[in-house]
Chain A
């Protein structure tokens, strides 16, 4: 664009956001949107090519653009309140005034702040303090410390706590997993596991050689160490019990020979020296360093094995060390990684400011819980299995029992129908609980358990079923009172029968019901006109075609609700007096009727709920403190990162401000207080 064109902005009419550029020649005018300018000005580094930066200063002088920029800036600034506003709108309860002082104990200088010098002695003391320029209210905490006190809000603390809880849970899961895997006795499983780990490790090692040669070197060293251990031990050599037996068998059995050879080969493989491309001295040093403590560790417990006090941590570590055979090295390393992770968790845990004791307790609790969980799981599993066996055994039992019990022939089949009569109540009372039936199958389940699952000795509840394997004899004792009861009841029934001998209630009920059903059925509308289109007279019936055509049958109504309930009448008539109290339309916030109904169904009163629940359910949305002035929000309290108000710009004159006003100002911003206190010191 050349300079011959000049700007002709229109003088702020409504809704015009276009600038016109008129050239001096005959070229047509150019219209440019205001927003384009604002964009240019806001981002001067990359102006669009069509409009050069020449226009920037022209535009800046234009009030319309200035306003646009200022507005957008303000709107963006105000938007930082969005989260707080939304949060407050959603909050179940708001307590006003906001930012109330915490109810906890206060520091001395906070309490003293409102105190005024009154007695002459105090005045004297304060005068002395002033003369010697001593601080009157010596702050115990520096502003930095105060800041740090306020650094973590409640929400942050909660989030942090949740994180830690998660970490702890993860750790306990890992522990549980490790424990479970350790318990598996199948040798094959472990073999497969080891092989898989071995393969993985090899792969990783190959990658390591390429990516991280130093790490690979360390791995190699570890392998070397394992080789040495293998050489020191007598494992995989011909001295073992198994090897000796195989040696005897080897003469006759090919497979035994093969196995022996395999073992020897393994020994060879494991003891073969790996060429390490590092200097020998270093290695030898390391060997010396590492072998000696191992040796010590291994030998000591043997010496002091009798003394339980000497078996502190070393014995705990011992099994692990002894476990690490040559084959296991890799797997152990794998495990090491995971243990490192756990260690990391623990380190994190220690970072917490909670005292260590509590942590330990929690850990212990965790462990206990974990064990309990496992044992619970086991018991559950056992229960489930026993149930299964019960299910299996029950039908045969029933089959056996039914012929024996001649009294209760049809009870199982008839069920509901019988219960209608009073006589049936006696029978209902005699229905035996299923436990005694289940008992005979006990030894079976116990046997199953014994074979399949190793007994969990550590945390096992005493199981009656296991201890008492013999079948308990069910002794039927005739209770005297019950007999008397029965007799009494019989008498009562007979009395009632006598009293109501005349009226048959049941048949009355059935009649009533059928009547109601009939009333509910739609009637056939007869529109036949006798004598229309035919002869009429006494005794003449309308012909069939007429009846067919003019007798209108209405569609049958939907089935009655009490259709399948023989002893109930449900009235389906709409009751107008009830309708006046019912909600006819689904109210606004609810999505469906089920939601609304559930909201109505839950009672909130103290008749149905405990005190705390009622208190929680009926808590008001807004709580205000009586006699407290609710100040508007203060930006510094809610939006921390931005400090827009300049600190020094306080009110120029304090027109005899009373003490309360000062306190209010103090409460209003902590930063100001910090500054003020600093000034005072100077």
Chain B
């Protein structure tokens, strides 16, 4: 007689080690797991709530400067090092993980206007109100040795900004003219000017490394090519741009921070209309920096907030502020895309997380999977009113809210007035302008 017995293969249910999780055989028959949408919706709602609960973006504050921070720069090769310059001419090197100052250098008399790190990460350049460009070694001098710059160049006028080439030993400064310098020479190898008395910012394109853009005090943004003898083109806007930043992953886009509370992203091939107008700040925007992935950028404003914008969205996805943070003057996005650094008037450098609710440190596989699933769920149900309501809620200080409301009213009034003017004038005489077209005055060739 044949006896049949149930037979199980131990490979199917026995763990290899006790640290493995138990294997759960699962039947994916949809009839066994009904109500997919409502269940996922609830999960999405919970994920959104948790995301807001865990949104604690502030990581650390670095204090030690004795005056407002005027500029910050990242170390080219080290994630943990940051260099900052203050309004009293002091430059400090910071170690971020230890949150301590490594070194202090009295670099200039008066403001430190700009700092840039050399691409190899061995030295950095500073410019200041004392009309000098100084090159400093990034390694600290030995004990008892005085801090001396490697190189000092005396200029004729005040320099307001500096940027280094991505791969070559040239750098560019701006002041009354835009000058291109060789590291070896004490006079600029080329200087550009185009009927303007001063520039506030100049930046090398990190991708097309021969391209330059600068913000001038005559409300214009000027493009240069170092291989050409003359500047390329100029856009004149309604108000002055303070700084600009090139997208590190998309060669022909840059974003400028404007005095009219907005940021504008331009395509250098079509300068007559900005690609996107980013509005949310309630005061002049002072600085902007792209994330190294080129997907987002962070902006610092006079209204004491930092905002993070997706590069192609008109409104910000995140706003950071603290009670003690005053006018934010400079902001940088760390090179690993994880942190944002802001330097403000009240002498502090603050370190923020770029994703407010992201868990820092090493994640286990399951944690990672859960985070991805939650993120995807929120994305999937982002249009549902409850999810959206929670996901978009941000706390803002009262005065900023008040200003926001005020500005909305002003804008509405302006719109209404324009409408009335159009209504009472000859048809076609008052053209209908889109928001993008309003802010560009002219493109000069």
Residues of A within 8 A of B (CB): 12, 14-15, 17, 34, 63-64, 66-68, 70-71, 73-75, 77-79, 81, 85, 88, 94, 96, 580-584, 587, 596, 599-601, 603-610, 614-615, 617-620, 622, 624-635, 644-645, 649-658, 660-661, 664-665, 668
How far apart are the CA atoms of A624 and B368 in the complex, in Å?
13
Interface: B209 (CB within 8 A)? yes
- Tell me the B11-36 residues at the A interface (CB within 8 Å): 28, 30, 33, 36
B372 and A618 contacting across the interface, CB-CB below 8 Å: yes
B385 and A583 contacting across the interface, CB-CB below 8 Å: yes
* Residues in A neighbouring B166, C-beta threshold 8 A: 632
* Residues in B neighbouring A629, C-beta threshold 8 A: 77, 79, 292, 335-336
Contact with A along B324-357 (1 / 0, CB 8 A): 0000000000011110000000000000000000
Of A77, A603, A619, which is within 8 A of B40 by CB?
Answer: A603
B445 and A68 contacting across the interface, CB-CB below 8 Å: yes
* Also in contact, A632 and B232, with CB within 8 A (given A600-B380, A603-B37, A604-B380): no
A67 and B77 contacting across the interface, CB-CB below 8 Å: no
| Minimum CB–CB distance for B40 against chain A, Å | 6
* Residues in A neighbouring B209, C-beta threshold 8 A: 635, 645
A626 and B336 contacting across the interface, CB-CB below 8 Å: yes
| Minimum CB–CB distance for A647 against chain B, Å | 12
B183 and A608 contacting across the interface, CB-CB below 8 Å: no
Q: List 18 A-B contacts (CB under 8 A).
A: A67-B233, A70-B232, A71-B445, A73-B228, A81-B252, A85-B252, A581-B385, A596-B383, A604-B40, A607-B36, A635-B207, A635-B209, A651-B167, A651-B169, A652-B184, A657-B120, A664-B120, A665-B120
* Residues in B neighbouring A622, C-beta threshold 8 A: 293, 295, 337
Given A600-B380, A603-B39, 11 extra CB contacts under 8 A:
A74-B268, A79-B269, A88-B250, A607-B39, A608-B33, A620-B375, A624-B338, A630-B292, A631-B292, A651-B168, A661-B122
* Residues in A neighbouring B381, C-beta threshold 8 A: 600
Interface: B403 (CB within 8 A)? no
How far apart are the CA atoms of A34 and B228 in the complex, in Å?
19
- In the complex, the number of residue pairs spanning A and B with C-beta atoms less than 8 Å apart equals 201
A67 and B380 contacting across the interface, CB-CB below 8 Å: no
A605 and B230 contacting across the interface, CB-CB below 8 Å: no
A584 and B385 contacting across the interface, CB-CB below 8 Å: yes
Interface: B396 (CB within 8 A)? no
- Chain B interface residue count, CB cutoff 8 Å, equals 72
Interface: B208 (CB within 8 A)? yes
B40 and A651 contacting across the interface, CB-CB below 8 Å: no
B445 and A645 contacting across the interface, CB-CB below 8 Å: no
* Residues in A neighbouring B191, C-beta threshold 8 A: none
Contact with A along B157-184 (1 / 0, CB 8 A): 0000000001111000000000000111
A628 and B336 contacting across the interface, CB-CB below 8 Å: yes
A600 and B37 contacting across the interface, CB-CB below 8 Å: yes
* Residues in A neighbouring B228, C-beta threshold 8 A: 66, 70, 73-74
How far apart are the CA atoms of A660 and B40 in the complex, in Å?
47
B251 and A78 contacting across the interface, CB-CB below 8 Å: yes
Interface: B421 (CB within 8 A)? no
* Also in contact, A619 and B268, with CB within 8 A (given A12-B195, A67-B231): no
B122 and A633 contacting across the interface, CB-CB below 8 Å: no
* Residues in B neighbouring A15, C-beta threshold 8 A: 442, 444
A645 and B167 contacting across the interface, CB-CB below 8 Å: yes
B225 and A74 contacting across the interface, CB-CB below 8 Å: yes
Q: Which residue of A lies closest to B441 (CB)?
A: A14
A81 and B444 contacting across the interface, CB-CB below 8 Å: no
Interface: B145 (CB within 8 A)? no
B251 and A655 contacting across the interface, CB-CB below 8 Å: no
B292 and A655 contacting across the interface, CB-CB below 8 Å: no
* Residues in A neighbouring B107, C-beta threshold 8 A: none
* Also in contact, A630 and B28, with CB within 8 A (given A67-B232, A607-B33, A661-B121): no
* Residues in B neighbouring A656, C-beta threshold 8 A: 122, 139
* Residues in A neighbouring B225, C-beta threshold 8 A: 70, 73-74
| Minimum CB–CB distance for A71 against chain B, Å | 4
Contact with A along B74-101 (1 / 0, CB 8 A): 0001010000000000000000000000
* Residues in A neighbouring B211, C-beta threshold 8 A: 74, 78
Interface: B307 (CB within 8 A)? no
* Residues in A neighbouring B369, C-beta threshold 8 A: 614-615, 618
Residues of B within 8 A of A (CB): 28, 30, 33, 36-37, 39-41, 43, 77, 79, 118, 120-123, 137, 139, 150, 166-169, 182-184, 195, 206-211, 223, 225, 228-233, 236, 248-252, 268-269, 292-293, 295, 335-338, 362, 369, 372-373, 375-377, 380-381, 383-386, 442, 444-445
Q: Which residue of A lies closest to B249 (CB)?
A: A633
* Residues in A neighbouring B236, C-beta threshold 8 A: 14
Q: Which residue of B lies closest to A672 (CB)?
A: B167
B195 and A583 contacting across the interface, CB-CB below 8 Å: no
Q: Which residue of B lies closest to A600 (CB)?
A: B37
B268 and A78 contacting across the interface, CB-CB below 8 Å: yes
How far apart are the CA atoms of A601 and B381 in the complex, in Å?
11
How far apart are the CA atoms of A580 and B182 in the complex, in Å?
64
* Residues in B neighbouring A661, C-beta threshold 8 A: 77, 120-122
- Residue among A71, A625, A665 with the highest chain B CB neighbour number at 10 A: A71
Q: For the complex of A and B, list the 7 residue pairs with the smallest distance between their C-beta atoms, beginning with the closest.
A: A632-B206, A630-B292, A632-B248, A651-B169, A603-B36, A587-B383, A70-B228
* Also in contact, A66 and B184, with CB within 8 A (given A78-B269, A85-B251, A661-B120): no
How far apart are the CA atoms of A64 and B445 in the complex, in Å?
6
* Residues in B neighbouring A614, C-beta threshold 8 A: 369, 373
* Residues in B neighbouring A596, C-beta threshold 8 A: 383
* Residues in B neighbouring A85, C-beta threshold 8 A: 249-252
| Minimum CB–CB distance for B37 against chain A, Å | 6
How far apart are the CA atoms of A480 and B211 in the complex, in Å?
92
* Residues in A neighbouring B249, C-beta threshold 8 A: 85, 88, 632-633
A655 and B150 contacting across the interface, CB-CB below 8 Å: yes
B40 and A624 contacting across the interface, CB-CB below 8 Å: no
How far apart are the CA atoms of A652 and B168 in the complex, in Å?
8
| Minimum CB–CB distance for B288 against chain A, Å | 16
Of B230, B335, B383, which is within 8 A of A583 by CB?
Answer: B383
A664 and B77 contacting across the interface, CB-CB below 8 Å: yes
A653 and B77 contacting across the interface, CB-CB below 8 Å: no
* Residues in A neighbouring B268, C-beta threshold 8 A: 74-75, 78
How far apart are the CA atoms of A609 and B36 in the complex, in Å?
11
B230 and A63 contacting across the interface, CB-CB below 8 Å: yes
A583 and B251 contacting across the interface, CB-CB below 8 Å: no
Of A73, A79, A605, which is within 8 A of B43 by CB?
Answer: A605
B335 and A630 contacting across the interface, CB-CB below 8 Å: yes
A605 and B293 contacting across the interface, CB-CB below 8 Å: no
- Residue among B33, B231, B232 with the highest chain A CB neighbour number at 10 A: B232
| Minimum CB–CB distance for A67 against chain B, Å | 5
| Minimum CB–CB distance for B371 against chain A, Å | 9
B28 and A71 contacting across the interface, CB-CB below 8 Å: no
Q: Which residue of B lies closest to A14 (CB)?
A: B442
- Residue among A74, A617, A620, A656 with the highest chain B CB neighbour number at 10 A: A74
A81 and B207 contacting across the interface, CB-CB below 8 Å: yes
* Residues in A neighbouring B337, C-beta threshold 8 A: 96, 622, 624, 630
B248 and A633 contacting across the interface, CB-CB below 8 Å: yes
* Also in contact, A78 and B442, with CB within 8 A (given A600-B37, A620-B372, A632-B166): no
* Residues in B neighbouring A77, C-beta threshold 8 A: 208
* Residues in A neighbouring B248, C-beta threshold 8 A: 630, 632-633
How far apart are the CA atoms of A67 and B445 in the complex, in Å?
6
| Minimum CB–CB distance for A502 against chain B, Å | 35
B121 and A658 contacting across the interface, CB-CB below 8 Å: yes
Q: Which residue of A lies closest to B360 (CB)?
A: A626
A81 and B77 contacting across the interface, CB-CB below 8 Å: no
How far apart are the CA atoms of A601 and B167 in the complex, in Å?
51
| Minimum CB–CB distance for A618 against chain B, Å | 4
Of B28, B137, B168, B383, which is within 8 A of A649 by CB?
Answer: B168
A653 and B183 contacting across the interface, CB-CB below 8 Å: yes
| Minimum CB–CB distance for A188 against chain B, Å | 56
A94 and B380 contacting across the interface, CB-CB below 8 Å: no
Q: Which residue of A lies closest to B137 (CB)?
A: A655
